Each structure stands twice: as C-alpha cells, then as structure tokens.
Structure 1
Amino acid sequence: MQNSKPDTNGAANSAGNGVAMEERIQPSRSFTDEEFERYSRQMIVPGMGKEGQLRLINSRVLIIGAGGLGCPAAQYIAGAGVGTIGVVDGDVVELSNLHRQVGHATSRIGMKKVDSLITHLRRLNPLPTFVPHASHIDPQNAADIVSQYDVVVDCTDNPATRYLISDVCVLLCKPLVSAASVQKSGQLIVLNCPPTPKGLLDRKYAPCYRCCFKKPPPAGAMLSCGEAGIMGPVVGMMGVAQAGEAIKIIASALHLPPSDPDSAPERNLQQPTLLLYSYDLESAVGPYTFRALKMAGRKKTCFACGENSTLTLDGIKAGNPNYEQFCGLAAPRSNLPPEERITAAAYHAAKTRGELPEHVLVDTREKEHFSFGNIDGAVNVPFGKLLMTAAAVKRGGASADQILAPAELEPLPEDAPIFVVCRRGLDSQEAVEKLKELGMDNGGKRKILDIVGGMKAWKEEVDHSFPFI
C-alpha cells in the first residue's frame, strides 16, 4: 500500500504514519508475558478481548495539551496499552498547575510539560512508544502532527485551538474526542467518528466541532482556568472520560473510515451526545450531576464538513481561516480614549500625594480574587453582577443605585471621579462604558476612568508583594 499523504483538498487516508491500521494489526500475534499480565483484567471485559487489545497496541493516539485534561487522559490511555502516544504542548510545568495536572510533580517544575508527562507515563507503563511534540499546536504544524495518528484527543483550553484541531481532523479523516472544563463544570463530545470525508452528509455521520458550535462564545465570556479557576476533580473527571472514549473508539474499530460510507449504519453507531458535568462546591451535601444532550449529525451548510466546504489544509497553513480573528482573540486593544485611562503607577502616585482625596475605586474581580488582596478603600462589584444589574436597569427592572450603594456616592461631590480596576485591564474598560451608559458620570461632570492593566499592573508597577492570582 502506498504511503498516505494529506490531501490539501480534504480527505486523507487514516493511516497516519503511512501504514493502514488493517496492515498494522497482526491477528496471529501473541502477547508477551508482560503484556498478557499487564492487560489481562482489561482483555476479559466483554467487547475487548484479544482483538480489541491488539487494536490498542497497534494504534497511535495524539493527546493535544498536557494539562488538567491531558494528564488523566494520557495516564489511562497509556495504562490501557495504546502502542504509540503523542503529546503536544509548548508550556513548562508551574507550581500553580499541580493541584489538577496530575501527570506532573513538584520536582519537575520548570520542565517542559511534554517531557514531564512522558516521564510520568513511562513509569506507569514502559511498553508504549511516547512521542513528544514540544510546541503549541498551530495552523502551520497541525496537519503534519495530526496526520501521524489514528485518534486525536483535544485537551486544550481555548476555542480557537479547538476549531483548528476539529477542522484538521475533518480534512484528515481522524476521530476527535473533545472536552473542556472550567471552574466547576465540564463537557465532552466525540466528533467525526467514524471518520468520514467532508461533503458526505447524513444524520448517521457524527458532526464536527463547527456543526455543534457554529459561532464561538463572545470573547469577553471566554475565561481560561487562570482567569476563572478550576477544580481538579472536575477537569480530572473529563480527562478520564476522554480516555474512555478514545479506548472505546479504537477497540471497536470506529477510528477506521468505512470502505463504503453506506456501510456506516452497520457499525452500530450511536447518536452523538454532549455530556455535561457539574459539581456543586458550595453545597455540603448533594450529588454531582451528569446530563447528556443529544446532538444532530453533520450539517449540510457546515463550513468545515458541509457539502460546499472550501476548507483545505493548504488554506489553513496560509491563514485561511484566521482562528484568532474568528474567536475574537486578536491582541487586546483599548476601547477607551486616553483621557479615560490611567496607569496603576499614576493612580498610586496621585493617591499618595493627596491629589485624590475624594473618589470611588471599583474592583470588578470576583469576590474570591478580591478576598486575597485589594487596593485600600476599593469597593468590590463583580463584573458579572455589574453586567446583570446594568441589563436590568435597561429593562426597567432595577436602579443604577444597585451597582454602587448610595452610601458610597452620596457623601462625595457630584464630580468625584470613579476609578475601575479588574484583574488584567479588560473587564474594567467595559465596566467604564456600562457605568457611563447608566448615567453615573452625571452628564459628564464625573470622570470614570479605567486603571490600565488591572491588578496585574498594580503588582508590576506598585506593589511587587501583591498576591496576584
């Protein structure tokens, strides 16, 4: 069989490393004594058996992201005996990772995450071949990396990368197990499985990421774990579930494109499902919850897998589509004119010199962030609460006084300024605009100013000991 090179117009053989999966499996192959003992409890599970284990041993799985999702996913994929495991990540291990990224260790802080995780996996199971890809996945390298594997497990933490990975998996005919988690909730979905070339449409064909999420969430609503926080057991639950799906796909041979697409119904396919998980941290009792939402199949008009899709691998490498732009993740820019902004250092200097004897400082971070440290005299008005109150005021269901209590404003002159600070200087700009829309500038008599760079800038410019998290 000829080596399979990705087709820049879409379809590609699932062979990944140039050898079709059917040829890599050796039905007559016997297990070594170590393999037999190591995998015996798994092989006796109904539906696995010798054939399923051989598929795992002869398969190649790519894990993109060696963080909170990737660590537990990789552990169980390696433990199950997948023959070749690729790990993609461009970051290094940090102390703040360790409460959830269980494949790393305190002794490996500063090490590249791919090397740290592979070190951990080799100690768990030395039999697989581990392949490090010590860089972030991007439009230039995605196809070259993904093409080497049979199944892709997306453990990244931002929408732009998820759309990129899904698009490449559609074009290369790779099944994709995608998950996301933040704060106390997570979600999981299996995409493009069994892998089917773009343009083939039927509800029996699993959707791609764009079929399920045609538009990304607003840029301001997308919070990373660093911004919003994350509970380790939540992201761990999602990573373990990803491993389970990847193992099931391979053991059931669902990662192989059907030789005849019309034979897909014979493969005992299930309706695509989005699994949602939530965890109530504030309740002392009560169960965590799982919900399964039924998803539709491929969409005729989908940009990536639809019948008129113009998506190509060459186009992706050339920057079409622009994933950062599509998800609104272009470099941060100021929404406010210079006269409505002040640096953290300038604010501190003016306050220290007594030039700001009467003013209000609004801190829009969540109460958990605020509780770790704040600027003396700041009033905590969480950004989400501010937006909800502003919307209620517009509907006539609330008063602007509910944002800042009268007791905080009435003692002040009507021209006493309001300063707004957030974590990194983005939410505060929108907060300034909302406060002005609500008339809290007293018709222009009161200045409302954003502190540039937020509390991160405060730590860098004013107080290096400030506990910024």
Structure 2
Amino acid sequence: MGQDTGNHNGANGASVAENSAQDGLARRLTEEEFDRYSRQMIVPGMGKQGQLRLINSRVLIIGAGGLGCPAAQYIAGAGVGTIGIVDGDVVEMSNLHRQVGHATSRIGMKKVDSLISHLRGLNPLPTYIAHPFHLTPQNAADIISQYDLVMDCTDNPATRYLISDVCVLLCRPLVSAASVQKSGQLIVLNCPPTPQGLVDGKYAPCYRCCFRKPPPPSSMVSCGEAGIMGPVVGMMGVAQAGEAIKILASALHIPSQNTENGPERNLQQPTLLIYTYDLDSAVGPYSFRALKMGGRKKNCFACGENSTLTLEGIKAGNPNYEQFCSIPTASCNLPPEERITAAAYHAAKEKGELPEHILLDTREKEHFSFGSIDGAVNLPFGKFLMKAAAVKRGGGSARDILPPEVVDTDAPIFVVCRRGLDSQETVAKLKELGLDKGGKRKIMDIAGGMKAWKEEVDPSFPFI
C-alpha cells in the first residue's frame, strides 16, 4: 500500500490516537489477541489497557535497514495496530549480516516490501503501510502526520534534523538512534509532545536542543565506508522498540490539551544512551553509558520561544538541511589538470609513461587490507585529516604526519580513495601543506577511486 495523505494534522498537537483512544480502550480483545499478547500483558504496568493502547496506535519507522529491521520486528510482535515504513532503497547482499528483516531470496526487492513481508509472517494482525521512497522536506509532514509516534532509523544527520523538526511542529514524540562501526546511541525526544515555543527545563528536548551543530563533514561516514557490527545496530533497534512500546502503552504520546502551560505529565530526565562493543577485549566485551541531557532550549531553532520554523517553510526548502550539514557531494572540486581516470593511470603505468611516483591510498586500513594497487602506500583519510589539523593549529610541518619518502622527494603524488571524494580533499590538503612546492610538483587525484579501478581496470578487484 502507498501513503494516504488525506489525514493531515497540523501543529495544533492533535494526535491520531487521541480522537479514538476512548473507543479503542473500550473494546474487547479477540481470542487470538489474548493468545498472541498474553505474555506481555501480564507484565506489571502493561495489562489489558496498555495492550489496547498499542493496538490502537500508529507508528512510523523511517529506515528499513540495520536499525529499522529489529525495531519493526518488536513493534509488530508487540501488536502495534498500524505500522508505516519509509525507505527508498532495495535489498542488497551486503545488507544481510545486520538487516535481519530481509532475506537472500528477496535481494533486489524494495526494502519496505521485503520487511513488510517478513513482518506479516511474524504477526498478520497489524496494518502495514509501505512508503517506498526516501523522506524529503516536501513529503515529511504529509507522512509523519498520519502517525502517533516516529522512530528515526536513518543513517544521516540531514534526515535526522528534518525528522525532528517536523515532529516538533506536528507534536509527535520521536525515538532516535544511530549506529556505526562498534558503537550506537539512543535518545527519546519531544516526549511528552509539547507545542513549539513552550520552553522550560521540564519539557523534553528536540534533536536540535541536544545537537545544535551537526558533526563535521569529514566524520560523516556511512556503514558502507566505516563498517558496522550487526549486534551493535541490532541492540539499538531493539532498544528503540522498547522505548516506543513504553511510550505508547502509557499514553505519553498524546499531547496535553493544556497548550498554554504545556504537558501536565513529565517524562524522566532525557538521557542519551551510548552502547559500545569492544572487539579487542576478551573480558567485558560491551558497555552502556547514560548521559543526562538538558530540557528544551529557549534559543532552539526548532522548538524555542522565538522559533520561525514552519511546515510551509520546510516544504519550500527553508532550512536547507543538506547545506546545514555540509553533506559532501560527488561533484569535482579539482581542476581537470589535477585529475586522472583510473584507466588512464593504469595505461600510463603499464606503458612505462609514468615517471617514478608515489601512490597514496587514503582508505582505512581494513579496506586497504583486502587489496590495493601495486606500490600503494596506505594513508588513512581520517587520521590524516586529524594530524593535518593538529599541524595547522600547532605550527608543525608535513614531516610530522607523512612518511619521509613523500616529503623528501619531488616525485609526483597520485591519490586514490574508495569512491573519489576523500582523495580530492587529500590533494587539497597536501597542497596546503606545501607538498606541491609552489606548483612545481604534480599532485593528482585518481577520479572515482577504487570503485572506478574495479569498473575500468580490474573487475576482479575486491571492492568493499
């Protein structure tokens, strides 16, 4: 099923569940519902009323990947009545080690359809709604307004800020998580939902209250770039489901009618849960830390007392989320004379047309270990940037961060990375450090990185 945009609630705080809550809690559970949900209904604090609230609720899961799959499984298993899933991607082989709602037989299928197929096998009772496209500033409000609670299971900062902003304006609680490599984090935001402009330390914050500025572009790496451990992202997805079930069963997702003084109920101290999985430790392989977060900020761009953020503005492109997060693009920032294709580099090298030169491979050491171009020197991009920044601050030189064979010769430098973005920035940094010797030394980027090498030169290369 596609989206139904006819049920659009504005920023007046009216929840989808609020209108029918009394009717829903008055009905009787069916025999199948008693059988299916009995073990969780007998848990103290849940009971029949809590279960009926779940059945009467509508949850939106944005992202059908490593977080969204385990989150959706437990949301469906718990009996949430309507579950919407947003994702524009298709299932790939590399997803399957962590995205446990998909299967080998469904490779190539849209992720929303694959996950819903899996969930129906688990529990056929909920209504499942597929939104088989990416969330954008233009469609976010229309989709989110149909649901009572939102679960952010995405993997990029721009979308996280967009989701939070819309949840503030529509008075929807948000359960947000993120995970990469060996760590993850989880936080509950805007719960109980509070109208925009009501500011007090007792009100729950939005995403911008907690993270006023996005991380630097150089630190924004996807799971494809940095890697991800399946149990880590699975742990965060399961934790998201637990928080969502708690909120829905206790009716904390329904905004207070008292919009003048804000919610009459206060959630516990907002907490950022951080989970770390240590592959290198034989003892104590994981750890949890809970950091207390403050309440709403008076000067918050989204929920503060003087906020000018509107749904209409978001749809019109204000704010520009990608610009705010400085998302790197595939556009070329170097002039043509500082770039060479993978095929041209290989041909020149094979014909002996290249003089003695240095090839720097800026992939992380794990990527580098699977294979590299003959003669390449590994210079991990993240460490290089940090060292270059330290040199700039402390007044050091290139000798402090680069091997002598790179600094002490005039040999041309060629730089390659995974997909052709990091290498361009590396070329620019090397020039800033004076390695081009005033333009006398050639520093070149291999366009398209090792992905292009596989496509243009060596199809057997193990590109990961």
Paired position in structure 2 for 1:25:
24
Amino acid at match of 1:354: G
TM-score by length of 1: 0.93
Paired position in structure 1 for 2:135:
137
Contact 1:63 1:74 in 2 (8 A): yes
1:463 aligns to 2:448 (yes or no): no
Cα 1:263–1:287 shift into 2, 3 Å: farther
Paired position in structure 2 for 1:150:
148
Contact 2:195 2:259 in 1 (8 A): no
CA RMSD for the aligned pairs?
2.0
Matches within 5 A, 1:196-207: 196-207=194-205
CA distance in 1, matches of 2:439, 2:268: 60
1:6 to 1, 6, 9: 9
Matches within 5 A, 1:398-413: 400-407=398-405
**What displacement does 1:222 show?**
0.5
**For each residue in 1:112-171, what CA deviation from the matched residue of structure 2 results, as whole angstroms up to 9, or x when unmatched?**
111111111111111111111111111121111111111110101111111111111111
CA distance in 1, matches of 2:131, 2:57: 18
Amino acid at match of 2:451: K
Q: Moved runs in structure 1, 4+ residues, more than 6 A?
A: 262-265
Contact 2:76 2:123 in 1 (8 A): yes
**What displacement does 1:442 show?**
3.4
CA distance in 2, matches of 1:404, 1:307: 50
**For each residue in 1:349-402, what CA deviation from the matched residue of structure 2 results, as whole angstroms up to 9, or x when unmatched?**
211110114000000100110011111110011112222332343455865335
Contact 2:91 2:110 in 1 (8 A): yes
**For each residue in 1:225-252, what CA deviation from the matched residue of structure 2 results, as whole angstroms up to 9, or x when unmatched?**
1111110000000000000000000111
Paired position in structure 2 for 1:15:
16
Matches within 5 A, 1:380-399: 380-395=378-393
Unaligned runs of 5+ in 2: 1-5
CA distance in 1, matches of 2:65, 2:39: 28
**For each residue in 1:185-208, what CA deviation from the matched residue of structure 2 results, as whole angstroms up to 9, or x when unmatched?**
111111110111101111111111
1:433 to 428, 437, 461: 428
Comparing 56-65 with 447-456, which one deviates more in the overlay?
Answer: 447-456
Amino acid at match of 2:375: G
Q: Which secondary structure state, in structure 1, belongs to the residue aligned with residue 15 of structure 2?
A: coil
1:366 to 364, 377, 386: 364
CA distance in 1, matches of 2:324, 2:333: 19
CA distance in 1, matches of 2:425, 2:186: 32
1:337 aligns to 2:305 (yes or no): no
CA distance in 2, matches of 1:284, 1:263: 52
Cα 1:121–1:220 shift into 2, 3 Å: same
Contact 2:279 2:285 in 1 (8 A): no
Paired position in structure 2 for 1:415:
410
**What displacement does 1:329 show?**
2.2
Q: Which secondary structure state, in structure 2, belongs to the residue aligned with residue 306 of structure 1?
A: coil
Paired position in structure 2 for 1:454:
449
CA distance in 2, matches of 1:49, 1:397: 65
Amino acid at match of 2:414: F
**What displacement does 1:281 show?**
1.3
CA distance in 1, matches of 2:129, 2:442: 57
Matches within 5 A, 1:119-134: 119-134=117-132
Contact 1:24 1:58 in 2 (8 A): no
1:108 aligns to 2:106 (yes or no): yes
**What displacement does 1:15 show?**
1.8
Paired position in structure 1 for 2:3:
none
**For each residue in 1:39-93, what CA deviation from the matched residue of structure 2 results, as whole angstroms up to 9, or x when unmatched?**
1110111111111111001111111111000000000001111111111111111
CA distance in 2, matches of 1:144, 1:404: 52
Amino acid at match of 1:80: A
Paired position in structure 2 for 1:189:
187
Cα 1:201–1:404 shift into 2, 3 Å: closer
2:270 to 266, 269, 272: 272
Contact 2:176 2:188 in 1 (8 A): yes
Contact 1:441 1:447 in 2 (8 A): yes
Cα 1:47–1:268 shift into 2, 3 Å: farther
Paired position in structure 1 for 2:168:
170
Amino acid at match of 2:78: A
Amino acid at match of 2:232: V
Contact 1:381 1:403 in 2 (8 A): no
Contact 2:399 2:407 in 1 (8 A): no
Paired position in structure 1 for 2:286:
288
CA distance in 2, matches of 1:404, 1:168: 46
Matches within 5 A, 1:197-276: 197-261=195-259, 267-276=265-274
**What displacement does 1:408 show?**
6.1
Cα 1:47–1:261 shift into 2, 3 Å: farther
Aligned residues: 459
**For each residue in 1:257-285, what CA deviation from the matched residue of structure 2 results, as whole angstroms up to 9, or x when unmatched?**
01225776753521111111111112233
Q: Which secondary structure state, in structure 2, belongs to the residue aligned with residue 311 of structure 1?
A: coil
Contact 1:139 1:316 in 2 (8 A): yes
1:445 aligns to 2:440 (yes or no): yes
1:80 to 48, 55, 78: 78
CA distance in 1, matches of 2:370, 2:132: 34
Q: Which secondary structure state, in structure 2, belongs to the residue aligned with residue 304 of structure 1?
A: coil
Amino acid at match of 1:6: N
Q: Which secondary structure state, in structure 1, belongs to the residue aligned with residue 25 of structure 2?
A: coil
CA distance in 1, matches of 2:59, 2:314: 22
1:320 aligns to 2:321 (yes or no): no
CA distance in 2, matches of 1:394, 1:268: 47
Amino acid at match of 1:206: A
CA distance in 1, matches of 2:374, 2:348: 14
Comparing 281-290 with 91-100, which one deviates more in the overlay?
Answer: 281-290
Comparing 162-171 with 341-350, which one deviates more in the overlay?
Answer: 341-350
**For each residue in 1:298-337, what CA deviation from the matched residue of structure 2 results, as whole angstroms up to 9, or x when unmatched?**
1111111111111111211111111122111264333322
**What displacement does 1:24 show?**
4.5
Contact 1:11 1:198 in 2 (8 A): no
Cα 1:378–1:31 shift into 2, 3 Å: same
CA distance in 1, matches of 2:413, 2:324: 34
Q: Which secondary structure state, in structure 2, belongs to the residue aligned with residue 274 of structure 1?
A: strand
